[in-house]
Amino acid sequence: MAQYIADRRDIDFVLHDQIQVEELGKTELFADFNKKTVDMIVSEARNLAIKEILPTRELGDQEGCQFENGKVIVPESFHKAFELLKDGEWVAMTEDPEWGGQGMPATVALAASDYLVGANYAFMMYAGLTHGAGKLIQSFGTEQQKRLFLNKMYSGEWTGTMLLTEPEAGSDVGALTTSAVKNDDGTYSITGNKIFISGGEHDLSENIIHPVLARIEGAPEGTKGISLFIVPKIWVNDDGSLGEFNDVVCTGIEEKMGIHGNSTCSLMLGGKGKCRGMLLGEENKGMRAMFLMMNEARLLVGLQGLACASSAYMYAVDYARQRVQGKNLLQMMDKSAPPVPIIQHPDVRRQLMMMKVYVEGIRSLLYYVGLCEDKVKICEDAEEKLTYQGIIDVLIPIAKGYVTDRAFEVCSHGVQVYGGYGYIRDYPMEQLLRDCRITMIYEGTNGIQAMDLLGRKLGLNKGKPVMDLLGEIQKSIAMAKDAQGLEDLAEKLEGIVDKLGEVALHMGMTAMSPKVMNAFAFAHPFMEVCGDVVMAWMLLWRAAIASNKLEKGAKKKDVAFYQGQIKSAEFFIYSILPITVGKIKAILTTNGAAVDIDEKSFGG
């Protein structure tokens, strides 16, 4: 059976034609990353992903993680793949070379991760979490802490996690009870229990570095009293050598619906009173530090959704081309007509188009967020930096919440294209659907993403980031109006953008009125509307580029690809955006049935 992850032609299109990543190589910070280098990086990531990591996806799912006497054993195939990942220095692609990173643009790292994460995202979570933990130390740690931990974490010699969730403090992090008591030597004694800790214990590295949220004795209640600590599994001495076991005990792992290859652990800290931590950053500022890292974590979850959706789409297209079933609809009355591949059936093509437009739109969106991150780094003008950061902040809940909702939908369509075969484990769709489901839950459920968009991002900086984003969309609409054959598509999107402005104003005002509960009952539909507009924007932008390429005389091998970009925009804007209009009408009613209903009326 063929093995699929991502379409290299589409990745190159987004990188070079849409994002124009070569422009970053003209700056001092990214001078080493010209087109040749970028292409080489993506090719190397693709080779590693296909040859070494992809074979671990099914094996890891079947074998899972084993829990024995407080230790976690990962699937055997993960060990070689992790060594190769370390050897290639893929753990910290975007970070400062001083600490073992590659100094790569975020956009390029996303393209490489498109393959690496796509090959087996349960496996890549060990590296992704390590990078995130290291980033916290790089951003908030002392020079001593950076010296002790960063090089070994960014090299993958040591791994990392993030310890937030507790049995009674899931989405409500402020309810956590893990405590920290200051010791005479400046360290803190940590006591508490954490659950749902991805990669919390495993046998891939000799040490695991846990950033832990805890409350210092006497600190205020709620999120205002939370601090962040570095808690190594094995204590690290001042000279960098390993000391004693640090009383971080794994008490069990979860049996999950998907991502079986990643260990999801329950951890007990200080059960014997011997768990120590180092304060990371300032006292009572732990949540502020975590929010700074949330954009990266949520973008990674969006990428995980894309990974599942991209594989599902490519498998579905391949299967639809090969699976022969039924006559062509135009030959149904011809008794002698042969059966045809199911890709000729209109409803199968409809499903494939649904998959195609979301995979393409999502890839463009995630890479665009990466480009904005790169612009924040290279812009010298402070106001311009704030503009790009504001666009990132507005797009992140969409890039996590909307994206993973749609990614799961894509995987579900993939199962449907396969029919009964999609539902059994002999084929890849069943695992892709299971693995994708968690992306809608962790790093903040998609309902929380919707609340973040409405409650925090809509009114951020008096609405300037939202207006800046709408300005960027208008640029692509203007570009499409000048492209042959796209005028009507551009006008239709422009009309929806105007309606989006109206509904955003309505939601903002309602959220500050006595009907605040009604507003937040419509937060998720509002996120869907915003996501639909962003998808249409990305697809129209792609179509405008493709139209220009065709008009200038594209190479024969590229014609079908470019024509496909135009059809994607056409399909989305004619078939999906009208549904968005209906959602907007529903939001503008802000009907209170969901919040007004008596709890007893739910039955049960």
List residues with catalytic annotation: 443
Q: Which amino acid is at 279?
A: L
Q: Which helix (H) or strand (E) holds 364?
A: helix 346-378
The torsion region of residue 484 among left (phi > 0), alpha (psi -120 to 50) and beta comes to beta
Strand 66-68 and strand 71-73: the pairing is antiparallel
Give CA–CA dist 16/19, Å, rounded. 6
Two tokens at 198? 């991805």
Residue 243 CB neighbours (<10 A) = 12
Q: Which amino acid is at 230?
A: I
What is the maximum alpha-carbon separation in the chain? 89
- 114 neighbors 303 (Cβ within 8 angstroms): yes
Question: Which value, in Å, is the radius of gyration of the alpha carbons in the chain?
Answer: 25
| Integer CA distances (angstroms), 11 to 8, 60, 599, in order | 5, 27, 48
Residue 241 CB neighbours (<10 A) = 8
Tell me, rounded to whole angstroms, the distance of Cα 160 from its chain centroid: 18
- 102 neighbors 91 (Cβ within 8 angstroms): no
Residue 447 CB neighbours (<10 A) = 16
Describe the chain by its helix, strand, coil percentages, rounded to 5.
60, 10, 25
Give CA–CA dist 489/146, Å, rounded. 51
- 110 neighbors 377 (Cβ within 8 angstroms): no
Two tokens at 71? 């230790």
Picking from 350, 345, 354, the residue whose alpha carbon sits closest to that of residue 408 is 354
- Could you write out the DSSP letters of every residue in 462-475? GGHHHHHHHHHHHH
Residue 483 CB neighbours (<10 A) = 20
Residue 166 CB neighbours (<10 A) = 19
Torsion (CA) 120, 122, 124, 129 in degrees, nearest 10:
160
What burial letters (b/e) apply to 329-351, b meaning 16+ CB within 10 Å?
Answer: eeeeeeeeeeebbbbbbeebeeb
| Integer CA distances (angstroms), 279 to 214, 275, 288, in order | 10, 13, 14
Phi and psi at residue 251, to the nearest 5°: -100, -5
Tell me, rounded to whole angstroms, the distance of Cα 141 from its chain centroid: 26
